[in-house]
Chain A
Amino acid sequence: MRPRTTTRRQFLGSAAALAATGPLVPGFAAPLLGSDYRALVCIFLYGGNDGNNMVVPLDSASYAAYAKARGNPGAGGLALTQSSLAPLNGSSLGLHGALAPLAEVWNQGHLAVQANVGTLVRPLSKLEFGAGGAAVPGNLFSHSDQQSQWQQGGSGLAHSTGWGGRIADLQARAAVPAVISVSGNSVFINGAATDGLALSSSGGFAVKGFGGNPARNPLYSLYTSLLQLPYANAEQRAAATVLNQGLRASELLNKALSASSSVAGLFAGQSNSLARQLLAVAKMLEAHTSLGVNRQIFFVSIGGFDTHNDQLSQQGGLFGQLGPALKSFHDATLQLGLGSQVTSFTASDFARTLQPASGGGTDHAWGNHQFVLGGAVKGGLYGRMPQFALGGPDDVSSEGRWLPSTASDQMSATLAAWIGVSAGDMAGLFPNLANFAQPNLGYFG
């Protein structure tokens, strides 16, 4: 159904060989650059989060332009009132009121706001976009494609691998998969040579039906032998691979996930899925020394951001989950003494039109704002906020679809450098990065 490359396939032989001998738990056994423990956490906001109502300018000229284009909420419009916003100290910006817990992290100096970042092949002007012929990411405004491009780290790649998974590949020469999703399968976690591990955010991580101690159950040993058979059928072979990967990792991870956690109390009163996912990640951080790994990448997500209608209430509800959960997670890293060793960041399909659509919502757009936070992060505003003018210099349409002034790959590469990807490996990880003057956006001091 789509063009493919065989890049990923070519690595598989070596990956299978490594899987048999490598460490039990996904992680960088032989680290990237640096020997300390570090973890990256991707929080994906599925559906295309409306960044225009996440970070709002408070200076009077910009706010007036914003409010005019967004329209009166009493008449189907979407403008947030100035008084409802949580101001970010020392800036002329405010966060959506439900994200006030994250404004605290800003005020502590550990929240970065990356303005107007989106998928790009190379820097692009409005003139070039309008003229056609310039390199533009494929299928702008399509959920599945833009999700993939953010997670892939490059437009025009075979969409089977993500940059999280490909970082794991860098280690796969000496180890096994390094990425864990607590939120099902995603492009982000799959590398060319390795597949990330996906587990559930609730309960432990163990196979059932083989008694309390599978290792001593003869039926279990028959089963593990069955999974080692050389299946000629590709789908059967794939099923065996997934099961084998889980069984290899389960003993150590089950211990970590089943254990009571010293940071669980920080999530008290939050029962939503994102909070549970972040708590599971916190438990694995807490157990990192017993897992024997020093670099990990986690993937969590929250859906529902495709707010074509009733956006004020829907997005407000979602931010009401995101703000507290992310703050609790940040506090957990501080309590665990890992504050400066864990960096979290948001990503999303795309932004949404500044102009409202019929039904009190918005349609698919492009350049968006994202968060990067953690003890190692040098807080502040990065990049440039767009001009709130429909059809204006930053709008590639007439409804407020921002042409990104920063590439998602620049943002991702900055995070990849922090987790230890060398400058030499960066071009392989983000093939389009060389097209941009600034490969590192400087989020870290």
Chain B
Amino acid sequence: MQRIRRDHKVRNFHQAKWDEPVVFELHRSGERGVIPPGTEAGITSEVGGAASLIPAGMRRSEAPKLPEIGQAKVLRHYLRLSQETLGSDLNVEIGQGTCTMKYIPRINEMLIRTPSMMELHPLQDPDTAQGMLEIYHKLDLAMREISGMDAFSFQPSSGTQALLAMASIVRAYHESRGEGDQRDEIITTIFSHPSQAATAAVKGYKIITLHPDEDGFPDLEKLKNAVSERTAGFVVANPEDTGIYNHRIREFTDVVHAAGGVCFYDQANANGLLGITRAKEAGFDMCFFNLHKTFAAPHMCGGPATGALGVAEPFVRFLPGPLVVHEDGKYKLKDQPDVSIGKVRSFHGVAQTVLRSYAWIMSLGAEGLRDVARIAVLNNNYLYHKILQIRGASAPYIKGRRLEQVRYSWKQLTDETGVTTEDITRRMCDFGLHYWTSHHPYIVPQPFTLEPTESYSKEDLDEYIQALAHISEEAYSNPDIVKTAPHNSTVHRNDESSLDDPAHWCITWRSYLKKTQAK
């Protein structure tokens, strides 16, 4: 018996590939997946059949064409689809810049599954939900400490919804001061998440977008030219998705305040700042954190999530309500005054994610949170140092000075080989890895944005670097293998020609069947 050789440099990976049909194709007439609770004879004898209890014209005339499938087959089908999904638990998921794909502690996933969390109704008497409200309140206090803000709402259920809430508060604030019509402009930067601009536009604002200076910093002179008596507010992330921290941020917020505007902070990129610096000292009036990024709640394929919204004292009365307060030894839900923005989401937001983030903070403490920030930045700078050694890769703008993520460019590699960043992200799938390019528009050409977080070990980072280096070599020596990737994933390259064609796009199975009938 000989030692089995495992000295290959990149993982010899293949994604699960089930060639699984669409669920409708599993239909077998008569099969049942689950039988719902029925009606006792005593009830039927009292009220009669259901048909007699609803208006005749409202009875469903044709049964919905849902498939009929036995229980084990439904389970098998969805388990196969889950195997064909590369959740961050399974791989070195450091390629989703700004998404902060950190370790999701299993204990928190267990804790939320207890009936005393899952079976709470949001409108039950607050006296019967004291444990839940205590968690809300304590997370509020912890986030005030982390940010320097004076009160938090966990009602917004995503970063985008928190941005909408902030834009709404800005509007309500200026209206309360009689300047609602006068101040109709919001300033942001081109590197900001599209939702910063988009949610401000939803609230009727005109958007002014600033481009960076040659070092990649937001341009203070451009900001000075952009502010006026029409300025309602300024929203920005810091660091931006490039990973560059704007050290003059206080000058920016001062300029906006001098013009009468409100400064609100997108803290999606907070993972390198915890315990190091805060929104308050940077001069922000409000900020939000993604609990499903920085605070270790899972991303869940795209939600449910929470955008924890914190504001300074002058803005507390505008927060969506009700707020959780601690008064007379009890936790209570307190209605907000009429001047508040009302509500952005039903009830109190995603309570189980509030619980997860509270549990995570309690698992780390102040020193642990500072370690998160330090190691996230250490991991990122290690990665940065080594990626710049890969042929064809560069990181535009100022050298060094990156915090927790970096936006890189394959421009040199693309110019020299014709292989694009989109090709490379598809080839990464062949190694059980992935990266995200950038928000649109692509200011950095052929972009890729990596954020390792604090969760990965040096070996994990080395695996990722090795895979990218390998693909770079392939681009220079055997570009076709990259351009035609993926080869070891669940499926091969999409033919996307129908996706923008109304005559051919198929958003549902029934639409697909209709549109492909004659063929």
Genuine A/B complex: no
Interface residues of A (CB under 8 A from B): none
